[in-house]
Structure 1
Amino acid sequence: MKVAHFRLCHSRKPFVIAYPGEAQEMVLDAFVQALSFYGGVPRRVIIDNPKTMVTYVSRSKERIFHPRFLALMNHYVMEPVACTPAAGWEKGQVENQVQFLRGRLFVPEPAFDDLEALNAWLRLRCEDLAERPHPEQQDRTITEVFEDERAELRPLGRAFDGYVEKTVRVRSTCLVQYASNRYSVPSRFAGHHVSLRAYAGRIVVVSGQDVIAEHRRHFTRNISYFEPWHYVPLLDRKPGALRNGAPFVGWELPEAMHRIREHYMAGKGGDREFVDLLLLAQDHGIEVVETACNLAVAQNTLRLPAIINLINQLVEPVITPLSDACAYPQLTLRPEADCKRYETLCSAEEVAV
């Protein structure tokens, strides 16, 4: 684990957040999280010289900042100030904080189920540590001094979209690779070039202006992560892949759809029927198909034609009855039966002849 450290120079309020590494997208996310924690934007930031922030240091000490880091600084209108290499005293507050918080937060070593739980705990501990007396204003706590400092911070505004982007080609297996793992995209994009955006905790794949896939980011090695719905259109030609195909192994379907799948697979040709049901999601949406399956299970009508009928009922427009406000012709005189009128007509014909 790597821990990013932040500290406001006046109030000394700390903020730390943990990541699996020090990649560019994690550095960007750390700044976004820190500014959100402080609730405002300072006018400048003092940094070290890692490759994720500074790409080149000349002999005259001039810096060339990383384009994405510079985009972050420009977004929040902050001035980056890089320290002299190997001159730790220029950022002494953070150097001291690293040693101090290492003993306060990581001894004994904390244990959590996931990174989100660890970072939530670290955030609370930073708030607790801010209740200590301020090193220069002993009669006030760090939190109290921070309230004065926060008034000088500029408004936070819209958060920076901290991703690292690259163009990749979708494999014939409908997978794109980032770092050591592979992630699936919809089958229609196989062989196409798409934009892969890597965030600290997720992978987003974009084609043109549309987000076509999104996955939770994993830090394993040489593993493929599938979204089974991306491969459903391919089942139209190979329905047998539903049983043993890698994308569908361990597919966790909603309870009603799982029950219908088990019912179909028990019979001959059931995989074809269930594939036909899955393909309906392309036309009507996954939510509609799931709702129809729930209704079918509730009504104990698991046959495919019955489910298709339920889908049609869900997607057909509802015919509303005519409003009472419609105006119809109203009779002013009540009709009365009078046979003498017929006799009058007959006598009139005789006169005419």
Structure 2
Amino acid sequence: MILCGGIEFARHERCYGTGVFVSDPLHYLALIETKPNALDRAAALQGWDLPEVFQHLRHLLEARMGNRGKREFIQVLRLMEAMPKDMVAAAATEAVRLGAIGFDAVKLIALARLDLSAYPHLPRTAVRTTAAADDTVLVPEVAA
């Protein structure tokens, strides 16, 4: 556990062996985003158990956009900093199924599936069905 001013801001598994490297891959993604070519060589990401859809999505992104695709893939991985891995994997699966290959698509699909009851501070909206008469306010001579 790592504390600052009495507030916990990181927690890692304790390792009792000597010379063993223990890391959380999510902690390194922001750095790797600035150096996307380090994605395959970063020690912190080695052995990261991700669902197969992530590798498939990466292949599609890089085939379509080259190095920019690698950056978008890292952004998809960074979604796991705020959402559960299963939710991001399901969104990536749906994006691939729809042929919407990109970070924005994965993010929007994941957000659409987000359970907003866990965020009570967000304002609630009410959307009602419009009627043709509602458009009369747009034409001044008809509204009068």
TM-score range, shorter chain: 0.5 to 0.7
Cα deviation, 1:121-155, whole Å, max 9, x if unaligned, reads xxxxxxxxxxxxxxxxxxxxxxxxxxxxxxxxxxx
Q: Structure 1 residue 232: deviation in Å? A: 0.8
What are the equivalent positions in structure 2 for 1:86-101 lying under 5 Å apart?
Answer: none
The 5-angstrom pairing of residues 8-47 of structure 1 reads none
- 1:319 offset after TM fit, Å? 5.8
Out of 291, 303, 307, which is 2:90 matched to?
Answer: 291
Structure 2 runs not aligned, ≥5 long: 117-123, 129-144
Query: Is the contact made by 1:257 and 1:290 (CA closer than 8 Å) also made in structure 2?
Result: yes
Change (3 A) 1:243 1:264: farther
TM, length-normalised to structure 2 = 0.61
CA contact (8 A) 1:206 1:213 kept: no
TM-score where L is the length of structure 1: 0.28
- For residues 260 and 205 of structure 1, do their structure 2 counterparts lie closer, same or farther at Cα, with a shift above 3 Å needed? same
Quick one: which amino acid aligns to residue 8 of structure 2?
D
2:106 corresponds in structure 1 to 307
* Counterpart position of 2:78: 279
Flag the 1:210–1:219 CA change in 2: closer, same or farther, 3 A. Answer: closer
Which residue does the alignment assign to 2:139?
none
Structure 1 residue ranges (4+ consecutive) displaced by more than 4 angstroms after TM superposition: 315-322
Alignment RMSD, CA only? 3.0
More helix by share: 2
Larger radius of gyration: 1
Matches within 5 A, 1:1-353: 204-207=1-4, 208-210=6-8, 212-215=10-13, 217-266=14-63, 268-269=66-67, 270-282=69-81, 284-287=82-85, 288-297=87-96, 299-301=97-99, 303-304=101-102, 305-315=104-114
Q: Sequence identity of aligned pairs in percent? A: 25
Query: How far apart, CA to CA, are the structure 1 residues paired with 2:2 and 2:17?
Result: 19
Q: Deviation at 1:303?
A: 0.6
Alignment-derived partner of residue 126 in structure 1: none
* Residue 205 to residue 258, structure 1, CA distance change in 2 (3 Å): farther
Instruction: Flag the structure with more relative contact order, 1 or 2, with Cα contacts below 8 A and sequence separation at least 6.
Output: 2
User: Is residue 12–residue 24 contact of structure 2 (8 Å, CA) maintained in 1?
Assistant: no
Partners of 2:12 and 2:23 within 8 A in 1: no
How many pairs are equivalent? Answer: 116
Q: Give structure 1 stretches of 5+ with no counterpart.
A: 1-203, 323-353
CA distance in 2, matches of 1:266, 1:213: 37
AA at the equivalent of 1:272: R
Query: By how many angstroms is 1:211 displaced?
Result: 5.1
